[in-house]
Amino acid sequence: MGTQPVIVDELSIGVESGEDPGVSWRTLTSADRTPTKALTTGVCEIAPGGELLYHRHAPLELYYFLEGTGVVTLGAVDRPVRAGSTVYIPGDTPHRIRNGGSVPLKLFYVFPVDSFAEVEYVMLDPAAA
């Protein structure tokens, strides 16, 4: 498993969502879904006014923004992002993403783990930032 090249078509993957307002994603590679290992990847879309809520998790994460503009909070610091921005988030760093623009904010994300199931989200109070 994970020793052969794999091609995944984003549009062939079902859309998922959770409790975050206006946030949906497609998990592209994850060992429990695809014959891959060592990296879990996906594409996340945040609607205008939507937000990926303040949280942390043990694995580091990388974002590459594909479309739109927004704000990423890293710890207590807000940073503007736009298409073409890359954000490296060390493990256990509190973070969130807000879309204050008028079009969807779309990003590609990567975790250095075999499966998305290994990423345990710890939701945080943004007032504690």
- For 80-118, write each residue's pLDDT tens digit: 999 999 999 999 999 999 999 999 999 999 999 999 999
4 domain-assigned: no
Total domain count, the chain:
1
In-domain check, residue 28: yes
CATH number, position 78: 2.60.120.10
Confidence bin at 128 (pLDDT 50/70/90) = confident
pLDDT of residue 89: 98
Give the global pTM: 0.94
The mean per-residue pLDDT over the stretch 28-37 comes to 96
Q: What is the pLDDT of residue 5?
A: 95
Residue numbers of the domain that contains 67: 17-115
Positions of E strands within 12-124: 16-17, 23-29, 40-46, 51-56, 61-67, 69-74, 77-82, 86-89, 95-98, 105-111, 122-123
